[in-house]
Amino acid sequence: MLLRFTFDTRATPAQVREAFTDVSDRRLQVWRRTLDPAKYEVRETGDDWAVVKEGSRGTRIWVLLRYEWPEPDTIRWTLLDSDHCDRGRGEVVVTPAPDGGSRVRTSIDHRAPRGLRGRAILLTQRLVGPIAFPRLWRSTLDELAATLSG
């Protein structure tokens, strides 16, 4: 399943980067509409990487991801394990937008579904993801920008 989407947010590039790379408990606050605290677990961290188990609220879906951010404008992840597929990777590239916010370009490529359930999850993500993910992420990042500016 390959998803690509782009959206603009009022959050600055630094705020977007922080939202995607902060793996402290603050991550659960920032992404509270999507992350399930019961599934959230930081396994390892380094200066520009982290291994994190995450899952969505209201679902039984979880993933174990290795996030890396060696460049200021790019966050990448590699799927290490999940309950529904065997391989995956993703990338978020953040650039300044003319209005002072950011443009966020995203690519998510999760493959090799595990069984019928895995196929159903990836099909649902392929159908709903291009609309739902940018809306959820934009609203989260816009809210973060509003909180930090006021």
pLDDT of residue 43: 98
Given a cut of 70, is residue 7 above it in pLDDT?
A: yes
Give the strand order in the sheet containing 49-55. Answer: 2-9, 102-113, 85-96, 74-82, 62-71, 49-55, 41-45
Residues in the chain: 150
Confidence of residue 103 (pLDDT cuts 50, 70, 90): very high
What CATH number corresponds to the domain at position 84?
3.30.530.20
Q: Which two tokens stand for residue 134?
A: 């940018």
Under 8 Å between Cβ of 115 and 32? no
- Would you state the pLDDT for residue 79? 97
**What is the value of pTM for the model shown?**
0.93
73 is in which domain, residue-wise?
2-149
Tens-place pLDDT, residues 23-69: 999 999 999 999 999 999 999 999 999 999 999 888 899 999 999 99
As for how many domains the chain has, the answer is: 1
Write out the DSSP string of 123-145. HHHHHHHHHHHHHHHHHHHHHHH
